[in-house]
């Protein structure tokens, strides 16, 4: 077994707020260690965005110690032993070591423990079961460091047991492989996912969307989605197309890739309970004719004005990916960059201007304003306010 490295030099570990939290937990007679993703990412040389702390103190002890030190404490996941301590404006999730007493594939009843190895044994993957103390020393109870080095996504202990504890781990297996894995996925883990894939049907739409969106934004997303399709797993999540080459040509944007992957993109709004913004993006990509480099510049500007920069970008990227044009095509690139070269203007007149010009309030105001806007756009947005009002008279 290779010697474990140290994370003592990591800037996020030396953050004064985090070190203060460690000190408060130690003063209370316990210990805090960074757990999971921050340790994994640091060892992989990837950015650390979230730091979660595990402790052998109970939630009540954590709350009492942090409150006595003047920190705000919120019981954000108290049933599973998690409180959020706000240290000098830095929020840290602090979770008591635990093991699962009872699971139903979606949630668990837990018992708190003071044993670090017991806590490691109930985690999903070995690369997520690493701990790091205040001095940067790493604790590895499940061979996680070797799997991090090899970029292997391996279930802790028995893969089927880990999955039946929470069927979302099937999606996490593929998501982590797409994000961190190299080579073929772990055979034992893959076989367990295949055997238990029907458990995906019990998961909530929100949990599925969250995991699949993260997967679709990962570097190995397309190959992983193909593997999931071949093993009959993707069919449990959505009706899909097999336009893999189109997906490969799209940037790692989950909503954009969903528009190409789903057989009926609009149905995914309710199926996965997408946000209003996500649903609006899908509707724009389905309901508008995409722009093309063959359009005249004035026509391109009219469409961009009508769509807005965000919908324009989505439509151009999707149409470009579906075209036969290479991804270095200058015409398509110029089309995509149009919002950077041309600022979408605002109509120079308003309903107030029409009222001031003598029109009576009523529906005719909107009708006339729309006619003026159409003429203004057809004139390449050049007429001024005075010219528009003159046309009114």
Task: Report pLDDT digits (tens) over 227-273.
Answer: 999 999 999 999 999 999 999 999 999 999 999 999 999 999 999 99
Whole-number Å distance between alpha carbons of 39 and 45: 10
User: What is the rounded distance in angstroms from the CA atom of residue 205 to the CA atom of residue 238?
Assistant: 11
pTM (global) more than 0.85: yes
pLDDT of residue 207: 95
| pLDDT of the residue at 2 | 64
Per-residue model confidence (pLDDT) at position 99: 82
Q: What's the confidence (pLDDT) of residue 359?
A: 86
Centroid of chain to Cα 326: 28
What's the confidence (pLDDT) of residue 107?
A: 60
CB burial string 229-260: b at 16+ within 10 A, e below: beeebbebbbebeeeeebbebbeebbbbbbbb
pLDDT in the model for residue 79: 81
For the chain, list residues with pLDDT below 70: 1-2, 101-108
Share of the chain above pLDDT 90, in %: 90
């Amino acid at each position: 077994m290779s010697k474990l490295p140290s994370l003592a030099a990591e800037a996020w570990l030396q953050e004064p707020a985090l070190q203060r939290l460690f000190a408060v937990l130690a003063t209370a007679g316990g210990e805090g260690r960074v757990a999971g993703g921050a340790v994994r990412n640091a060892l992989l040389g990837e950015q650390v965005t979230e730091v979660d702390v595990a402790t052998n103190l109970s939630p009540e002890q954590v709350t009492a110690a942090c409150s006595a030190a003047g920190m705000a404490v919120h019981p954000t996941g108290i049933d599973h032993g998690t409180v959020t301590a706000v240290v000098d404006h830095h929020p840290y999730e602090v979770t008591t070591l635990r093991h699962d007493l009872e699971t139903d594939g979606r949630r668990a009843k837990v018992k708190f423990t003071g044993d670090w190895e017991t806590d490691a044994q109930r985690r999903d993957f070995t690369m997520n079961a690493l701990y790091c103390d205040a001095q940067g020393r790493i604790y590895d109870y499940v061979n996680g460091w070797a799997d991090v080095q090899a970029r292997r996504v391996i279930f802790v202990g028995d893969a089927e047991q880990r999955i039946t504890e929470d069927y979302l781990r099937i999606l996490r297996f593929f998501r982590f492989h797409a994000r961190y894995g190299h080579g073929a996925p772990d055979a034992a883990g893959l076989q367990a996912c295949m055997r238990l894939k029907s458990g995906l049907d019990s998961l909530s739409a929100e949990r599925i969307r969250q995991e699949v969106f993260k997967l679709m934004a990962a570097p190995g997303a397309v190959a992983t989605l193909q593997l999931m399709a071949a093993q009959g797993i993707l069919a449990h999540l959505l009706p899909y197309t097999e336009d893999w080459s189109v997906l490969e040509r799209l940037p790692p944007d989950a909503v954009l890739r969903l528009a190409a992957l789903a057989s009926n993109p609009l149905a995914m709004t309710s199926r996965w309970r997408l946000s209003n913004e996500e649903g609006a993006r899908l509707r724009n990509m389905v309901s508008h004719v995409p722009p093309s480099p063959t359009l005249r510049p004035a026509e391109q500007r009219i469409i961009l004005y009508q769509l807005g920069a965000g919908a324009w970008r989505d439509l151009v990227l999707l149409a470009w990916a579906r075209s036969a044009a290479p991804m270095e095509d200058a015409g398509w690139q110029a089309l995509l960059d149009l919002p950077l070269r041309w600022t979408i203007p605002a109509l120079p007149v308003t309903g107030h201007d029409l009222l001031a010009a003598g029109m009576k309030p009523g529906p005719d105001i909107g009708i006339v304003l729309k006619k003026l806007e159409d003429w203004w756009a057809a004139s390449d947005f050049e007429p001024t306010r005075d010219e528009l009002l003159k046309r009114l008279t």
